Amino acid sequence: MRNILTVCLGNICRSPYAASVLQHRGSWAVDARSAGLSDKWTGQPAHEEMLELAAARGFDLAGHRATQVTPELLEWADVVLAMDYKVLDELRRQADPTVFGKITFYLDDQDVPDPYDGTTDDFARAADLIQQGAHRHLP
């Protein structure tokens, strides 16, 4: 079993979608969870646009509730996947040095842009990038 933690800013768009994709594709070999850096949306459901897009693509975010990243989640994870450079930098700034080696990008050479406050196309682009990059993290 590989424990994967996906992290974005608020845990209502990119990271829950990525965790859902990884869990679905990794099946029994993966336990994927998500969290956000900010506590602003803690307890809130996924963004409505992402909920609809996920459902249309066969992923279920209906039960998702935003959570903030914690030292315990970082310790639990075998790998921590940051959705963009800002998230990666902040995770490394906040995290205990013992988990630095676990923290990396979801995509090697680019951010998964934050679609929050964007258009339907912005959400679709983020979802496309997440789905295209998922195979890199599966056992």
What is the number of other CB atoms lying within 10 angstroms of the CB of residue 27? 8
Selected catalytic residue, list 2, 13, 14, 65: 14
Selected catalytic residue, list 13, 84, 111, 114: 114
Burial class (CB in 10 A: 0-12, 13-18, 19+), 123: buried
Selected catalytic residue, list 8, 13, 84, 111: 8
Q: Is 125 a catalytic residue?
A: no
Q: Is 13 a catalytic residue?
A: no
Going across the sheet that includes 103-105, the strands are 30-36, 2-8, 79-82, 103-105
Angle separating helix axes 48-56 and 120-133, nearest 10 degrees? 50
Query: How far apart, in whole angstroms, are the C-alpha atoms of residue 137 and residue 31?
Result: 12
| Residue that has been written with the tokens 């914690």 in this structure | 70
| Residue numbers annotated as active site | 8, 14, 114
